[in-house]
Chains A and B, each alone.
Chain A
């Protein structure tokens, strides 16, 4: 009832762990797989080890509205990450290797490494909103996006997912530049910041960060709906999904599967199993046999 297929990869449920949340160590990813996730996206990994920004790197909005983070693409570097993946792959769910770089060659080499490590697909981080020279800064340059996606596509056999930024007026133009990708992942965090009025300064050491959690769900649903109308490429929806109803909303907008990140803060690692249960109950109540029937159901043509 809950299984879905994206680019021929079978997921036991449509709930995939989003990149950057609890996916630095292999043992944690294994635990998430065992806690019921349908799949796992790794933390975004680059060519070299990177410490990320100093603390504070996370600001929690009151009333469970979401968080702002500027972790700063901390990662152990691609060479050290193979060991983590070896452990994560024991979980038996598809693993998607997320990579970031600043040139097409860099992305292609990282993707190749991920493929050698045994990932089921690669995800290109074209969208992190708080790292200079990477992520969104790369991902709003349409010419560069086209080069990156085509370089990676010719380097690896596994499906290539392009994770795009909502921080643009021209999402459709960027998606068109990434049209060689096998799937679009929508959305990364929304660029934002918080100031502590008592300290009279920005909270995050990097000042700017990315907003995630329930408050960005309408932005994500809009992005999925908008892109699903124009492209046949499968879409993975992400942004603020905290309940079964949120996941259903994204799928009705056009997502074939979804990713979950910040919800783990509010619901713990059991979020995957609980949200899967909520989707299943809703499907049963509404007489729908397969979750994949929801995909694009709400599109008004």
Chain B
């Protein structure tokens, strides 16, 4: 069963990234996601980027489905089901949050739920940085691969510097998989606990089709946020499955 929600506002956030605001009565936790159906076009998973009465999806234009979503206007409708999956578990203590690209969409409501986290917002270049002015409660650090804003280099390089200087209780991360793999390595090296939100191709979204599995874990139900499991996932950053289930 889908719920139909009306888009009330569309915000241009960064290059190819828009936020779609809508009202919905569900109560998602940071890190949970919805399946968004555009009838006649496609259905795909989207993390919740704004929780509360006025909710939001923050969507990067990737292919046919997300491009069609970018072409919508306020007043248009979305068909949604969810919230699904296991979100972030908020633990006490110092937190380092590392978001790459559109991964910041998933992390944003988490950051707003943490007392005073250190946050790295990373992207390839300055105009792809997301939510640089959103957080009043966080110490925000920027990183770009080309140095066009903030630290010049990968998010993981900046994270390593910060881990050298301060003891963190928990790392929370979401973003491109090479970055996630790098963060898992850092968590191991610095002996810090980690939670990472993963992405895989999703068909059912409800744990029965196996299309989203990584090392036997279903990203849609057992995740998308994983913690200790990350250390034993040898498919992370290495193996993806296509729509047929074949490894790529």
Chain A interface residues toward B at CB < 8 A: 20-25, 27-28, 30-31, 43, 49-52, 54-58, 60-62, 67, 69, 71, 74-77, 80, 83, 196, 198-199, 201, 203, 261-262, 264-265, 268
Other than the known A22-B207, A196-B2, what 19 A-B pairs have Cβ atoms closer than 8 Å?
A22-B213, A25-B213, A25-B216, A27-B216, A43-B245, A55-B43, A55-B44, A58-B205, A60-B206, A74-B211, A74-B244, A75-B244, A77-B244, A80-B246, A198-B2, A199-B40, A201-B39, A203-B37, A268-B207
Main SS of the interface on chain B?
Answer: loop
The answer for the CA separation of A49 and B210 in the assembled complex, in Å, is: 16
25 contacts between A and B (CB under 8 A): A22-B207, A25-B210, A25-B241, A28-B210, A28-B213, A28-B218, A52-B243, A54-B42, A56-B35, A56-B37, A57-B203, A58-B203, A58-B208, A61-B1, A67-B208, A75-B244, A76-B244, A76-B245, A77-B246, A196-B2, A198-B77, A199-B79, A201-B39, A264-B208, A268-B207
Q: Is B81 at the interface (CB under 8 A from chain A)?
A: yes
The answer for the CA separation of A204 and B215 in the assembled complex, in Å, is: 28
Instruction: Please tell me the size bucket of the interface on B.
Output: 20 to 34
Nearest CB of chain A from residue B183's CB, rounded to whole Å: 23
B237-248 contact mask (Cβ, 8 Å, vs A): 1 or 0? 000011111110
Q: B209 is contacted by which of A54, A61, A71, A268 (Cβ under 8 Å)?
A: A71
Assess the A23–B210 pair: CB atoms within 8 A.
Answer: yes
Q: Is B186 at the interface (CB under 8 A from chain A)?
A: no
Assess the B1–A75 pair: CB atoms within 8 A.
Answer: no
Assess the A75–B216 pair: CB atoms within 8 A.
Answer: no
For window 40-80 of B, CB contacts with A under 8 Å fall at: 40, 42-44, 77, 79
The answer for the CA separation of A21 and B211 in the assembled complex, in Å, is: 10
Assess the A76–B246 pair: CB atoms within 8 A.
Answer: yes
Q: Is B204 at the interface (CB under 8 A from chain A)?
A: yes
Nearest CB of chain B from residue A118's CB, rounded to whole Å: 19
The answer for the CA separation of A201 and B245 in the assembled complex, in Å, is: 28
Assess the B215–A265 pair: CB atoms within 8 A.
Answer: no
The answer for the CA separation of A57 and B215 in the assembled complex, in Å, is: 23
Residues of A with C-beta under 8 A to B246: 49, 76-77, 80
Nearest CB of chain A from residue B128's CB, rounded to whole Å: 27
Residues of A with C-beta under 8 A to B203: 52, 55, 57-58, 71, 74
Q: Is B4 at the interface (CB under 8 A from chain A)?
A: yes
